[in-house]
Amino acid sequence: MTEIFLDTANTDEIRAVLPWGIASGVTTNQKIFFTSCKGVNFKQRVKEILSLVDGPLSVELTTSSGSDEDLINEAKEYASWGNNIVVKVPMWADGRGLRIINQLQRLGIKTNATCLMTVNQVLLASKAGATYVSIFFNRVKDSGADPVQVIKESRQIIDISGLKSKIIVGSIRKPEDLSQAAVAGAHILTIPHKILMQMPYHAKTEETIKEFDEAWAEFQKSQGCSD
């Protein structure tokens, strides 16, 4: 079954969507905090989100230029904020991300390998022990590759090899991206609020509802009339 996560750090958005009963987790990153949460206390906001959502909350490492020890310590700090914290670790070209994922896995800290664009990156992150592997749908497309094929092949490798990583698909720009990603085999779709709010709408649905409402109003007027 495909899960849905909310790709946001805005607590108003989270509170608005949770009553729908569709979301089982939240993903964030530095850009999300910068664009939607300027001025907030980072730790306080993360804990507020944890109080709202029962499922996993991904928080990304920010010390890209630090040593392995710096990165591990940053991850430990985030993990200490709550049991549902998942630490997002970028797929750095020098392999540091894989080292960090493997070490955190050994420490019992859940990880989300992020910024993945290729099947090979997914394979490496899964073998290193990542809890989640995040494929960036439209950024894959921007690079000239086919994100549907990347998702499909990644899912096949995970299933055939018996790996435990779950595929998260992000970088969603329109509702159609979601159905393509789900059919391709994504375990989880992480969706920005503005995209999610477009999903229930269809012009023909609205037209049909209006037609039924008008028919019911006319029916009520006709009640009591003799045959």
Which two three-digit tokens encode residue 34? 């910068």
204 is catalytic: no
pLDDT tens per residue, range 13-70: 999 999 999 999 999 999 999 998 889 999 999 999 999 999 999 999 998 888 999 9
**Do 169 and 189 form a contact (C-beta atoms < 8 A)?**
yes
Residue 185, both tokens: 């085999």
Single out the catalytic residue among 88, 110, 166, 210. Answer: 88
Looking at the 3D structure of the chain, how many domains does it have?
1
- Considering the domain boundaries, does residue 171 fall inside one? yes
Report yes or no: 178 and 172 within 8 Å, Cβ to Cβ.
yes
Q: What is the pLDDT of residue 55?
A: 98
Q: What is the pLDDT of residue 38?
A: 87
Query: What pLDDT does residue 212 have?
Result: 98
* 111 has a pLDDT exceeding 80: yes
**Mean confidence (pLDDT) of the chain:** 96
Q: What is the DSSP secondary-structure string of 187-217?
A: SEEEE-HHHHTTTT--HHHHHHHHHHHHHHH
Nearest CA among 223, 153, 189 for reference residue 7: 189
Partner residues linked to 4 by β-bridges: 23, 189
Tokens of 4: 């849905």
Q: What is the CATH number of the domain that holds 17?
A: 3.20.20.70
Which residues, 6 or more positions from 6, have their beta carbon under 8 angstroms from its beta carbon? 13, 14, 17, 23, 25, 26, 27, 53, 190, 191, 193, 196
Contacts of 28 (CB under 8 A, 6+ apart): 7, 8, 9, 46, 49, 57, 58, 59, 60
Q: Is 89 helix (H, G, I), strand (E, B) or coil?
A: strand
The answer as to whether 105 is a domain residue is yes
Residue 14: phi and psi, rounded to 5, are: -65, -45
Residue 177 located in a structural domain: yes
Residue 142 lies in a domain: yes
Q: CA of 68: how far to CAs of 89, 94, 98, 199, in Å?
A: 12, 12, 11, 41
Which DSSP category does 19 fall into? G
| 144, part of any domain | yes
Helix axes of 119-128 and 96-106: crossing angle, nearest 10 degrees = 30
140-177: pLDDT as tens digits = 999 999 999 999 999 999 999 999 999 999 999 999 99
pLDDT at 66: 87
Domain membership of residue 91 as a residue range? 3-201
- Using a 10 angstrom Cβ sphere, with 0-12 exposed, 13-18 middle and 19 or more buried, the burial of residue 195 is middle
Alpha helices in the chain (DSSP H): 11-17, 30-36, 42-52, 68-79, 96-106, 119-128, 137-142, 147-161, 175-184, 193-196, 203-222
Q: Percent of the chain, pLDDT > 70?
A: 98
208 inside domain: no
Whether residue 136 is predicted with pLDDT greater than 90 in this model: the reply is: yes
- Report if residue 16 sits inside a domain: yes
**Is residue 223 included in any domain, yes or no?**
no
Residue 82: predicted pLDDT: 97
Does residue 227 carry a pLDDT above 80?
A: no
Side chain identity at 200, as an amino acid letter?
P
pTM: 0.95
